[in-house]
Structure 1
């Protein structure tokens, strides 16, 4: 379980949870989640944004909707405005998928079961890979280029797949985690939806929806 910033770098990594847990179950057992729920992450106040929006983390449908954690609207009976939100969220979340894809393409040990005399040391191998990835992202221009990652072609409005996808197996889908969201969490998602459909809109989002991107 990891958090990724906009530069494809890992800013929090938790390794070693039981694989039988759902992804929502994994995140609930992390120090990050406990601090998020207890208001201990020192997130900036809403007043730091022009539209008084919450500072949030982004996830997919496998995770619970929270006041500071956004996930997509359910696919059933989506309104146009909700489709815009899902597209914008998916576009931002693509950063984390590309970060995971790149380390899988560069560090081939992640393609096979890791056999070690002391299984607990496997966690250190994964953490070392994430640290090396961050170091190389900052210091080695040959480690990754703009072509390494998925990009939207602004001329054709088409998605150009990153080079890492040619060198790694398809990533496993996350297992969903179902929990009833609070009214505050739903209102926060609606506020972002309204923002993406008004002041925060981008000129290509309607074209991308017309091409079936959300």
Structure 2
């Protein structure tokens, strides 16, 4: 984070986190409170360790961190918002088509288990199939690695197949309250074919009219299914990079969080909002994600970003399980149409080399 952005955020939250001096002692300054919180998010150090560094008691730090995080959430809440109009969705879709050659894409979906310590008196409420305790983060990302939707706090015991159904995004999809643009034509075999706008996801999500996932199984080189999977993975890789950057920069995610679920949710949402803020900042974006951090492609050849070197240490971010589901015939047909498009008029030069 640049000095300018540090000062900007501090001025935004100063009134909310400043405490009054008393006759017995001086209050901890807003600058120190903000610095302690950022240090905790960036390193994941224990409150005891931070206490030695800042000369503040661990008990006080345990109150400072969630208080400052709540203040950051209140001033940065507009950094994440679902599009409210068809035109806003079309802007996102244009980004995916121009940058990742996937038309009609509204975002990349994924979810992660955030490992926590066993909460007090919770029984098996947060105990997941991976034999650990967790809360679940569900997110959708645009073509520029910024989150347009995030929901955190679902108990780890809920099956991965059911986690998505507990989200606001799923509810709005079901009720058709997302203002998704109407079906638009793509040219397939010299004919205009109407196809819907959709989200791309992996096998942990259902195949639906507005959610596309890969064809299951292994497919022969050059096959229609393999090319579709390649094109979908190029678009879906954006959300993998976003999670990778989060865990790489905010090292509080490197190990199980020794906090109660409500505080874990607050800290996670703060990191996500800061991620979007720093990605969009003119003075901090190149510091936050310097060249080489993200995956890049040169004529279709993928060059892994530096965040992938840290994957073995990301013990707090666990993937959702891939679950087999029986999709509708309509969803299958839509996937087949997109696959046909990627093999005809939507073909890109280098896909034959890697498919």
TM value normalised by structure 1: 0.89
Contact residue 153 and residue 261 of structure 2 kept, 8 A: no
| Alignment match, 1:123 | 265
Q: Mind listing any 5+ residue stretches in structure 2 that lack a counterpart?
A: 1-137, 188-192
Distance in 2 (alpha carbons) for counterparts of 1:62 and 1:83: 19
Distance in 2 (alpha carbons) for counterparts of 1:168 and 1:107: 13
Q: Does 1:37 align with 2:184?
A: no
Contact residue 25 and residue 177 of structure 1 kept, 8 A: no
Q: Does 1:186 align with 2:332?
A: yes
Secondary structure of the 1:128 match is helix
Contact residue 219 and residue 225 of structure 2 kept, 8 A: no
Which stretch shows the higher mean deviation, 63-72 or 173-182? 173-182
| Alignment match, 1:165 | 308
| Alignment match, 2:351 | 205
Aligned pairs (5 A) from 1:17-166? 17-47=154-184, 51-76=193-218, 80-116=223-259, 118-139=260-281, 140=284, 141-154=286-299, 157-166=300-309
Distance in 1 (alpha carbons) for counterparts of 2:248 and 2:277: 16
Contact residue 148 and residue 164 of structure 1 kept, 8 A: yes
Shift in CA distance, 61/144, structure 1 to aligned 2, threshold 3 Å: same
User: What displacement does 1:15 show?
Assistant: 0.6
Contact residue 180 and residue 197 of structure 2 kept, 8 A: yes
Distance in 2 (alpha carbons) for counterparts of 1:96 and 1:128: 18
Distance in 2 (alpha carbons) for counterparts of 1:111 and 1:197: 41
Structure 1 or 2, whichever has the larger Rg, is 2
| Higher strand content, 1 or 2 | 2
Secondary structure of the 2:302 match is strand
Q: Does 1:177 align with 2:323?
A: yes
Shift in CA distance, 124/201, structure 1 to aligned 2, threshold 3 Å: same
Secondary structure of the 1:152 match is strand
User: What displacement does 1:76 show?
Assistant: 4.4
Q: Mind listing any 5+ residue stretches in structure 1 that lack a counterpart?
A: 210-214
TM value normalised by structure 2: 0.55
User: What displacement does 1:202 show?
Assistant: 0.4
User: What displacement does 1:150 show?
Assistant: 1.0
Deviations 1:64-95 (A, max 9, x none): 00000000001145680010000000111111
Distance in 1 (alpha carbons) for counterparts of 2:154 and 2:345: 41
Contact residue 22 and residue 176 of structure 1 kept, 8 A: no
Secondary structure of the 1:167 match is helix
CA RMSD of aligned residues (A): 1.9
